């Protein structure tokens, strides 16, 4: 779901070596934002290619915190492809009225197809190695398991839609997987794309720096995460549960497991049903 400024290719200087991450590669890249320029790109680094009418929306929140630092270090790469450059006619139109009538406009197959052709240059043909995704409210719900699977690929291509949707023929032609963030509608796919990339990139090696924090997160075990506490021990007459101050790691683990189960039962009965079924098996 997802206006202006032609992308430009530019080379990037590479350092000779970066600690344990291997050699750096010099590659052309389409990067409209300052953060995305003059940064190294590690050879074989995971990459997100984003087809959008608003390339200036990136990196957005992806340029902040740990994902932003990792982007600057070249641990992952971001490439935007401006859909408007493939538009038709004097005004570079990318959409047209729905065949058969109806409200709104539909993104043209020839325009989006041309962008997909550019995006797939240098990428594996196998969709397991490089998924091609259209962010759509009718898609399969995005979840942690999907993020983990995407993090193990070589990269992804994301189409940020706009208007009423995309001509179905281009989705079929390029074997595009439709994914949704949830049962709601956004004005465009850029926000959804950033959310999907963030959830995926943080699971890549050397991004967070603490593998244990990933393993203990919500959804990693099929349950919601237990409540968390820190100093001060008492705040506004509210005290930290005594078991967490006991130093007894076994009892702390049991308490956290019980809390995760109770929270999941109360807030996400759908997840609890899946978890219970797997446990019985």
The two tokens of residue 253 are 């683990």
What is the topology classification, in CATH, of domain 9-201? Alpha/beta knot (3.40.1280)
Confidence of residue 19 (pLDDT cuts 50, 70, 90): very low
Region of poorest pLDDT, from 145-159, 203-217, 259-273: 203-217
Sign of the C-alpha dihedral computed for residues 82, 83, 86 and 89 taken in this order: negative
The whole-number average pLDDT for the span 50-72 is: 97
The two tokens of residue 117 are 């052709």
The two tokens of residue 95 are 């959409």
Buried b (16+ CB within 10 A) or exposed e, 80-113: bbbbbbbbeeeeeebbeeeeeeeeebbbbbebbb
Q: Are strands 24-25 and 41-42 parallel, antiparallel or unpaired?
A: antiparallel
Is CATH 1.10.10.1100 the classification given to domain 218-280?
A: no
pTM: 0.81
- Helix 65-73 to helix 190-201 angle (10° resolution) is 80
User: For the chain, where do the domains classified as CATH 3.40.1280.10 start and end?
Assistant: 9-201
Q: What's the pLDDT tens digit per position in 80-139? A: 999 999 999 999 999 999 999 999 999 999 999 999 999 999 999 999 999 999 999 999
Residues composing the chain: 281
Q: Are strands 234-235 and 238-239 parallel, antiparallel or unpaired?
A: antiparallel
Q: What's the pLDDT tens digit per position in 166-192? A: 999 999 999 999 999 999 999 999 999
Beta strands in 145-260 (DSSP E): 155-159, 177-180, 234-235, 238-239
Helices and strands, number each (H, E), in the chain? 8, 13
User: For the chain, where do the domains classified as CATH 1.10.1270.20 start and end?
Assistant: 218-280
Q: What is the pLDDT of residue 131?
A: 98
The whole-number average pLDDT for the span 17-23 is: 41
Confidence of residue 44 (pLDDT cuts 50, 70, 90): confident
- Measured distance CA(59)–CA(80) in Å, rounded: 9
Q: What is the pLDDT of residue 218?
A: 61
Confidence of residue 212 (pLDDT cuts 50, 70, 90): low
pLDDT at 278 > cutoff 90? no
Burial (0-12, 13-18, 19+ Cβ within 10 Å), 29: buried
């Amino acid at each position: 779901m997802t206006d202006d400024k032609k992308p430009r290719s530019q080379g990037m200087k590479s350092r000779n070596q970066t600690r344990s991450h291997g050699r750096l590669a010099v590659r052309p890249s389409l990067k409209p934002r300052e953060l995305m320029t003059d940064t190294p790109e590690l050879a074989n680094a995971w990459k997100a290619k984003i087809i959008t009418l608003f390339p200036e929306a990136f990196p957005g929140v992806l340029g902040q915190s740990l994902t932003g630092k990792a982007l600057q270090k070249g641990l992952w790469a971001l490439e935007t492809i401006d859909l408007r450059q493939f538009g038709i006619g004097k005004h570079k139109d990318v959409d047209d009225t729905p065949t058969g009538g109806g409200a709104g406009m539909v993104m043209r197959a020839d325009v989006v197809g041309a962008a997909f052709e550019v995006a797939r240059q240098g990428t594996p043909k196998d969709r397991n190695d490089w998924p091609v995704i259209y962010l759509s409210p009718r898609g399969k719900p995005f979840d942690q398991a999907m993020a983990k699977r995407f993090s193990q690929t070589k990269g992804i291509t994301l189409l940020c839609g706009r208007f009423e949707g995309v001509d179905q023929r281009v989705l079929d032609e390029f074997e595009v997987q439709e994914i949704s963030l949830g049962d709601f509608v956004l004005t465009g796919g850029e926000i959804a794309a950033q959310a999907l990339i963030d959830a995926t990139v943080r699971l890549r090696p050397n991004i967070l720096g603490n593998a244990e924090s990933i393993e203990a997160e919500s959804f990693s075990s099929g349950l919601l995460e237990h409540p968390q506490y820190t100093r001060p021990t008492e705040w506004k007459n509210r005290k930290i549960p005594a078991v967490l101050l006991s130093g007894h790691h076994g009892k702390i683990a049991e308490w956290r497991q019980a809390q995760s189960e109770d929270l999941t039962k109360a807030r996400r009965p759908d997840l609890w049903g899946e978890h219970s079924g797997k446990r019985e098996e």
